């Protein structure tokens, strides 16, 4: 992780570098022995020599912001300085740092053009010195090649490593964002699942309790025995609802699934049928085909579909309706049919398929790769028919 303030800013480093080389060049020029100047044939130090030396060092303060301009300026000052024959100083190292900036700061195509073109020019300039002096040798040319090419290539390596680091950092950020998105989606899906579970649990048990307590109120004066039966049924529905709620809350509070009550499955459909019958809607249950073990997800969702469909029967089919539940075990799928002969939703087409319960059933079937049809029966009443693929047997 990049720490803010852990290292000096680049412009501070470049300014310090320019100042250091400038001072070093001035010291070299001011202390260069006159006798060596005469012996080597160098031009005497004068204000032009000082200006050329500073022209090769001071621009380095801007080498990262304007690498091409800085390189061209320093190269021009170097060529003029060498052409005039002034003594060499620390200023010559300005070329190295300028080439390094070209390699490290410019995009690859532009860096290749600017870098190699300038290197070629300086090498040709060095070779051309042989026309005017005998001091130019193969070694001198090789020194110029290394003096300019090596820092340029080193800068390219820095650029590539920096680009790779930025790419990896971008990938890490993208992966972190993706994990956040997936976590949010998982939370959202879990909320939706919990909402479906709560709706199915509360809707069914509360509907049974409401119908049974309403029946008890009507019968309390004239039929105490039936009143007691209705209240017992309401109490039983309340206990069932509380048990389911505790199971669901325990699932939310604990990661230890072994301590939780088992999920309801198709083996508890007879209990739903009995509750619906006791609530005043005579309901029958029929199993077709040869039963086989169901995967946990299909087992639970088949139970929830029947539960929601019977809740709709209690709510909408009317007091004189009866219902039928059919569970069909076939080779590659499980069929669930819940139908009634009432009038509820069938009498109000605008409400068909618009309730939260039917939406929840469709979501369950979509999650399992199945399909569901819900609507009025031709002869009256309402039918919910689901088909759930079964592949794990």
Q: Residue 289 is inside which H or E element, if any?
A: none
Q: Is residue 149 part of a domain?
A: no
Q: Is residue 179 part of a domain?
A: no
Q: C-alpha distances in angstroms, 322 versus 101, 201, 257, 328?
A: 87, 22, 38, 20
Sheet order of strands, 371-376 included? 283-288, 323-329, 333-340, 382-389, 371-376
Domain's final residue, options 108, 136, 164:
136
Dist CA 73 CA 59 (whole Å): 8
pLDDT of residue 234: 73
Strands 283-288 and 371-376 come out as unpaired
What token pair was written down for 89?
A: 């100083």
In contact, 337 and 375? CB cutoff 8 Å:
no
Using pLDDT thresholds of 50, 70 and 90, give the confidence band for residue 54.
Answer: very high
Q: Which of 33-37, 190-194, 312-316, 318-322 has the lowest mean pLDDT?
A: 33-37
Dist CA 171 CA 173 (whole Å): 5
Residue with the bigger pLDDT between 138 and 190: it is 138
Q: Is residue 164 part of a domain?
A: no
pLDDT of residue 135: 63
C-beta atoms surrounding 322 within 10 Å: 17
Structural domain that includes position 356: 267-393
Q: Is residue 141 part of a domain?
A: no
Domain's final residue, options 113, 136, 159:
136
Mean pLDDT confidence for 15-40:
80
Using pLDDT thresholds of 50, 70 and 90, give the confidence band for residue 120.
Answer: very high
Dist CA 206 CA 212 (whole Å): 10
Q: How far is C-alpha 191 from the chain's CA centre?
A: 19
Q: Which of 254-263, 272-281, 285-294, 335-344 has the lowest mean pLDDT?
A: 254-263
What token pair was written down for 148?
A: 């300019």
Dist CA 269 CA 384 (whole Å): 15
pLDDT of residue 347: 46
Q: Is residue 227 part of a domain?
A: no
Question: Residue 367's closest CA among 386, 393, 339?
Answer: 386
What total number of domains does the chain contain? 2
pLDDT of residue 154: 93
Q: In the chain, where does DSSP find H-type helix?
A: 10-31, 34-40, 47-55, 67-84, 93-105, 108-128, 138-219, 224-253, 269-278, 296-316, 356-368
DSSP structure string for 222-273: T-HHHHHHHHHHHHHHHHHHHHHHHHHHHHHH-S-GGGSPPPP-GGGHHHHH
pLDDT of residue 378: 86
Q: Is residue 185 part of a domain?
A: no
pLDDT of residue 202: 63
pLDDT of residue 334: 94
The b/e string for 131-144 (b: 16+ C-beta within 10 A; e otherwise) is eeeeebeeeebeeb
Per-residue pLDDT tens digits for 227-243: 777 777 777 777 666 66
Using pLDDT thresholds of 50, 70 and 90, give the confidence band for residue 4.
Answer: very low
Using pLDDT thresholds of 50, 70 and 90, give the confidence band for residue 252.
Answer: low
Q: Is residue 95 part of a domain?
A: yes
Per-residue pLDDT tens digits for 207-221: 777 777 777 777 777
Domain's final residue, options 119, 136, 153:
136
Main-chain phi, psi angles of 335, to 5 degrees: -100, 135
In contact, 302 and 263? CB cutoff 8 Å:
no
Note the pTM of the prediction, 2 decimals: 0.48
DSSP structure string for 88-125: P-GGGHHHHHHHHHHHHHS-HHHHHHHHHHHHHHHHHH
Q: Is residue 192 part of a domain?
A: no
Mean pLDDT confidence for 21-27:
92
């Amino acid at each position: 992780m990049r720490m803010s303030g852990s290292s000096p800013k680049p412009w501070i480093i470049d300014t310090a570098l320019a100042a250091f080389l400038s001072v070093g060049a001035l010291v070299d020029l001011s202390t260069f022995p006159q006798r060596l100047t005469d012996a080597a044939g160098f031009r005497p130090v004068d204000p032009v020599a000082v200006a050329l030396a500073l022209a090769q060092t001071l621009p380095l303060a801007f080498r990262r912001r304007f690498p091409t301009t800085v390189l061209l300026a320093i190269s021009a000052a170097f060529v003029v300085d060498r052409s005039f024959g002034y003594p060499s100083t620390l200023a010559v190292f300005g070329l190295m740092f300028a080439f390094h900036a070209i390699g490290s700061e410019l995009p690859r195509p532009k860096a290749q053009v600017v870098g190699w073109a300038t290197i070629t020019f300086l090498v040709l300039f060095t070779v051309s010195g042989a026309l005017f002096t005998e001091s130019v040798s193969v070694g001198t040319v090789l020194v110029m090649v290394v003096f300019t090419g090596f820092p340029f290539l080193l800068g390219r390596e820095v650029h590539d490593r920096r680009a790779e680091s930025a790419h990896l950092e971008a990938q890490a950020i993208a992966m972190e964002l993706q994990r956040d998105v997936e976590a949010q989606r998982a939370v959202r899906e879990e909320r939706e699942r919990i909402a479906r579970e709560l709706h199915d649990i509360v809707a069914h048990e509360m509907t049974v309790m409401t119908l049974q307590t309403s029946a008890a109120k009507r019968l309390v004066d004239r039929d105490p025995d039936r009143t007691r039966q209705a209240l017992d049924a309401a109490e039983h529905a309340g206990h069932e609802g509380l048990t389911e709620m505790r199971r669901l809350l325990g699932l939310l509070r604990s990661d230890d699934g072994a301590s939780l009550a088992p999920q309801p499955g198709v083996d508890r459909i007879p209990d739903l049928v009995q509750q619906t019958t006791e609530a005043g809607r005579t309901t029958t249950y029929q199993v077709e085909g040869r039963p086989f073990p169901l995967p946990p997800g299909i087992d639970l969702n088949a139970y929830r579909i029947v539960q929601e469909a019977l809740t709709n029967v209690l709510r909408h089919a009317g007091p004189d309706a009866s219902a039928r539940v059919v569970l069909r075990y076939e080779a590659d799928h499980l069929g669930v049919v819940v139908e009634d002969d009432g009038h509820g939703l069938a009498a109000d087409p605008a409400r068909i398929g618009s309730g939260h319960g039917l939406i929840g059933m469709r979501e369950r079937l979509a999650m399992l790769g199945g399909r569901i049809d819900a609507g009025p029966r031709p002869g009256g009443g309402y039918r919910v028919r689901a088909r759930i693929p079964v592949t794990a047997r």
